[in-house]
């Protein structure tokens, strides 16, 4: 029995204190690892809330996902639709499932081409070849079978560079806009139903007025988009600005042509 009415901590109390200390240290170490991970991957967010009834963690790495999806254009075996873009019909590939899930307009366009008689004939032939290949009745390679399944869609109303950037945005969520492509991307955003992209491109186009060289680049890329709705709307906005800027007087006639054709022309967005 201890004198003075005081008692030393029991082994049980000591074990509890040691356990609490270990938990505290482990919690600090985990928080450090999470903060270190967040610094290393700035686009990765880790959220925990120990106060909730169910203690959960939500991990998001959108930047990593975006980078992974960008590489899809280098994996030709995965891409199953080819757009022939511009007057030169440059092939730009994509994945039907991703494109269709991101844009209702493109989904309907893809569906319409899938149902076309020409593609239906190839699809039936593909099914036959695939069946024969599975039964080892022919030496046809799987890549040949896949080639019959690939869908080709003409897209002559857009320039290749702008359409390639649109595909990058659809597949990865990342978009790079400059003064040469903003008109094409603005019209693509309107045509294919990307309101957040349309607003961003609209604001960027207005921002191009701060520098004459950017505005000139923008006007030089406008030829293919003269009859597109967003081009007309933008020209209405820029008309007074261009008329008041002597360095841009050469583009006044182009603006007048676009606006004069607006009243008696049909939109040629696709």
Q: What is the structure's pLDDT at 151?
A: 93
Residue 85 carries which DSSP code? Answer: E
Q: What is the pLDDT of residue 91?
A: 96
Closest alpha carbon to 193 in 108, 112, 134:
108
User: Who wins on pLDDT, 126 or 89?
Assistant: 89
54 and 151, same domain (yes or no): no
The whole-number pLDDT of residue 235 equals 92
Binned at pLDDT 50, 70 and 90, residue 188 comes out as very high
Question: What is the mean predicted confidence (pLDDT) over 74-102?
Answer: 92
Domain boundary among 156, 183, 218: 156
Residue 123, CA distances (Å) to 13, 127, 132 in order: 74, 6, 14
Model confidence at 156, in pLDDT bands (50, 70, 90)?
A: very high
Instruction: Classify 60 in phi/psi space as left (phi over 0), alpha (psi -120 to 50) or beta.
Output: beta
Full domain range(s) for residue 55: 10-68
In a domain, 236, yes or no: yes
Burial 43-56 (b: 16+ CB within 10 A, else e): ebebeeeeeeeeee
Among residues 115, 140, 156, which one ends one of the domains? 156
- Is residue 263 located within the same domain as residue 207? yes
Residue 22, pLDDT score: 60
Q: Are residues 132 and 147 in the same domain?
A: yes
Confidence of residue 136 (pLDDT cuts 50, 70, 90): very low
- Please tell me the total count of domains within the chain: 3
pLDDT of 31 above 80: no
Point out which residues pair with 85 in neighbouring strands.
Answer: 90, 155
């Amino acid at each position: 029995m201890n004198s003075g009415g005081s008692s030393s901590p029991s082994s049980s109390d000591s074990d509890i204190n040691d356990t609490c200390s270990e938990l505290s240290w482990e919690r600090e170490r985990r928080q450090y690892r999470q903060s270190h991970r967040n610094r290393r991957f700035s686009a990765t967010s880790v959220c925990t809330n120990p106060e909730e009834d169910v203690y959960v963690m939500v991990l998001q790495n959108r930047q990593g996902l975006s980078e992974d999806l960008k590489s899809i254009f280098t994996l030709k075996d995965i891409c199953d639709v080819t757009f022939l873009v511009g007057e030169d019909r440059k092939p730009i590939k994509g994945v039907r499932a991703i494109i269709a899930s991101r844009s209702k307009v493109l989904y309907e366009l893809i569906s319409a081409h899938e149902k076309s008689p020409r593609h239906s004939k190839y699809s039936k032939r593909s099914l036959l070849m695939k069946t024969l290949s599975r039964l080892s009745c022919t030496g046809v390679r799987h890549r040949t079978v896949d080639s019959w399944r690939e869908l080709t869609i003409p897209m002559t109303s857009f320039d290749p560079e702008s359409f390639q950037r649109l595909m990058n945005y659809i597949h990865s969520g990342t978009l790079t806009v400059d003064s040469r492509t903003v008109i094409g991307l603005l019209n693509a955003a309107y045509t294919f139903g990307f309101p957040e992209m349309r607003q961003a491109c609209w604001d960027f186009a207005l921002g191009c007025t701060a520098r004459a060289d950017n505005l000139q680049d923008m006007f030089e890329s406008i030829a293919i988009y003269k009859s597109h709705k967003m081009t007309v709307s933008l020209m209405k906005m820029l008309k007074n600005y261009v008329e008041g800027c002597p360095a841009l007087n050469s583009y006044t006639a182009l603006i007048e042509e676009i606006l004069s054709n607006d009243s008696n022309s049909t939109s040629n967005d696709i």
